[in-house]
Amino acid sequence: MDLGRVLLVGGKIMPEMKKYVEIEDAIINHFDSDAKAAALEFAAYLKDKYNVKESTEANCWQVSFNNKNICKIWLDSGKVSISFFLSYFHADYNGDFDADFVTAVIKKIQYCYVCHDGCTGSFNVPILGRELENVCSQHTINFTSFDKESIEQMKMLIKYCEQTEPNDISYHVHH
């Protein structure tokens, strides 16, 4: 191992991750063939309909609509994930989604643990009509699978985000 290109992560020496400017390059290098096609199609969908730009964080891309951050896509330790933010999941849920969709999204909720210095902690909040406790204020709903069903759920969630206004809870909606 080239010790000039390593990171110390959680007390372990890890090879330094390659930095990608374009999300497609990260997908091509970190997905198997089945998931790669679906993830590339989803990235094209996002770029066609929304503002997708490289974030100030390494290997991270912001997805925004009307100058509101909807979600971020991260490449973290070789895994691509997409996180939706708490600020878009407040009490004005209008009930337009079927119960299976709501249940699937609720299963992807990130519950709080102290993940880093400066963490804003947890909140007890309504998300898609359900009252939930100890929800992460920064990475509220996380998808790590890019199968057809997950992609359709993400598209529905993004459509919901288009209709809502951000509030001041999540750090990430403002960056």
Q: What pLDDT does residue 80 have?
A: 76
pLDDT band at 29; cut points 50, 70, 90: confident
Is the model's pLDDT at 1 over the cut of 80?
no
Q: Residue 3 and residue 52: Cα distance in Å, rounded?
A: 34
Q: In angstroms, rounded to a whole number, what is the distance separating the alpha carbons of residues 73 and 33?
A: 19
Is residue 13 included in any domain, yes or no? Answer: no
The pLDDT, as a whole number, for residue 49 is: 92
Tokens found for residue 117: 């210095």
Q: Give the tens place of pLDDT for each residue, 110-120.
A: 888 877 777 77
Residue 73 lies in a domain: yes
With respect to residue 2, please indicate whether it lies within any of the assigned structural domains: no
Q: Which residues contact 133 (CB under 8 A, 6 or more apart)?
A: 122, 124
* Number of compact structural domains in the chain: 1
pLDDT of residue 48: 94
- Domain membership of residue 143 (yes or no) is yes
Tell the residue number behind the tokens 């759920």, with chain if given.
153
pLDDT tens digits, 58-110: 788 988 888 888 888 887 766 778 888 765 555 555 567 788 888 888 898 88
Using an 8 Å Cβ cutoff, are 156 and 71 in contact? no
In the predicted model, is pLDDT for residue 18 greater than 90? Answer: no
Q: Phi first, then psi: give them for residue 174, nearest 5 degrees.
A: -100, 0
Q: Is residue 10 part of a domain?
A: no
pTM tops 0.85: no
pLDDT at 8 over 60: no
Q: Count other Cβ atoms within 10 Å, centred on residue 76.
A: 13
Per residue in 31-72, pLDDT (tens digit) is 877 788 888 999 999 999 999 988 887 788 988 888 888 888
pLDDT digits (tens, 9 = 90+) for 141-155: 888 888 888 889 899
- pLDDT attached to residue 4: 38
Q: Is residue 8 assigned to a domain?
A: no
140 and 123 in contact (C-beta within 8 Å)? Answer: no
Is 28 within the bounds of a domain? Answer: yes
Kindly state whether residue 4 falls inside one of the protein's structural domains.
Answer: no
Asked if residues 123 and 11 have their Cβ atoms less than 8 Å apart, the reply is no
pLDDT for 130-141, tens place per residue? 788 998 877 788
Structure tokens at 100: 């299976």
**Domain range enclosing 100:** 20-174
By the 8 A CB rule, do 99 and 44 touch? no
